[in-house]
Structure 1
Amino acid sequence: MSYKSWFDAHADKHKKIVDRLVAKGFSKEEIIEYFYFDNMVQHERDFCPLYEDNKKCHDMSKLNCYLCACPNFRFNDEGLGTYNELKILSKCDINNGEEFASGKSIHQDCSKCTVPHHKAYVEKHFDLDWKKIMKECEI
């Protein structure tokens, strides 16, 4: 699966949940609370493949899933450049995390970064339109 196809599919899933919550009259604060891992793993099993195993993508007690994918993540399926003959497909705009090579490509490893999963970060960047928050991700 390409970054772009995942990104678009995830945006659709996110929008369906947010639209349903807005239709129920949820406030911004209630929407943010709804997206905590403990609630999402119970009520939105299809949102993330890790939910099936009750597994978190990051080791943190209060993981908020509203910004699954990160506004600081940059990707281009055609490549962002090369390094030692490997095509760079993704990077971090704030230089957090590490990179890894897979096949002939370099990818950003965000597994140790919790920046977008804290409530304060979500509140600061909140918009009902996930794609608007993520508008700079696709280069």
Structure 2
Amino acid sequence: MSYTDWFEAHGKKHAKIMEKLKHKSDDEVIEYFRFENMVKNEPDFCPLYKDNKKCHDYEKLNCYLCACPNFRFNDNGFRKQENRTLYSYCEIESKDGSQFISDTYIHQDCTGCIVPHKERYIKKNFSRNWFEVMNKVKKG
């Protein structure tokens, strides 16, 4: 699955949940997206939910910003680096991020970073439209 395919499909899943929550306050929406609640009430939102597994080792994981507004991707690649194509990177160069590097590609690895999963960060960047929050992610 390409980044674009995942991005579009995830945004649609997010919008369906938001439609159910349209009468909730912003704080109630953010609370709804807490990992424990999502596993119970939205099992199809994330493939990890079926195993009650978190994508990040963080006690207060919030899934509202599954995918990060600081992530950048281009399915065609940004540029070559030493015969490898860079397909994704972190705009803020998080010290907790890393890269998957092979002989031919480079992809951002966000598993060590919890920036978008903290409720303080979500409140600061909140929009009821996930695509609006994520508007800088897709490049090219």
User: Is the structural similarity TM-score above 0.5?
Assistant: yes
Task: Kindly report which structure 2 residues correspond to 1:121-132, keeping only aligned pairs within 5 A, or say none.
Answer: 121-132=121-132
Runs of 4+ in 1 over 6 A off after TM superposition: none
Q: Deviations over 1:87-107 (max 9, x none)?
A: 110000000111112462110
Q: Deviations over 1:6-51 (max 9, x none)?
A: 00000000000011110xx111000000000000000100000000
Instruction: Give 2:48's match in structure 1, choosing from 32, 45, 50.
Output: 50
The aligned residue for residue 65 of structure 2 is 67
What RMSD over aligned residues (CA atoms) do the two structures have, in Å?
0.8
TM-score by length of 2: 0.96
The aligned residue for residue 39 of structure 2 is 41
Work out whether 1:115 is the aligned partner of 2:115. yes
TM-score by length of 1: 0.96
1:35 and 1:102 map into 2 onto residues whose CA distance is 34
Work out whether 1:4 is the aligned partner of 2:20. no
1:81 and 1:92 map into 2 onto residues whose CA distance is 15
Residue 121 of structure 1 and its aligned partner are, at CA, apart by: 0.3
What letter matches 1:89 in structure 2?
Y
Residue 77 of structure 1 and its aligned partner are, at CA, apart by: 0.2
SS for the counterpart of 1:123 is helix
Q: Deviations over 1:76-122 (max 9, x none)?
A: 00001111111110000000111112462110000000000000000
Q: Which runs of 5+ in 2 are unaligned?
A: none
SS for the counterpart of 1:71 is coil
Task: Kindly report which structure 2 residues correspond to 1:97-116, keeping only aligned pairs within 5 A, or say none.
Answer: 97-102=97-102, 104-116=104-116
- Structure 1 residues 28 and 90: CA distance shift in structure 2, 3 A: same
1:136 and 1:88 map into 2 onto residues whose CA distance is 17
- Structure 1 residues 98 and 39: CA distance shift in structure 2, 3 A: same
Identity of aligned residues (%): 53
1:103 and 1:54 map into 2 onto residues whose CA distance is 34
What letter matches 1:92 in structure 2?
C
Task: Kindly report which structure 2 residues correspond to 1:83-102, keeping only aligned pairs within 5 A, or say none.
Answer: 83-96=81-94, 97-102=97-102
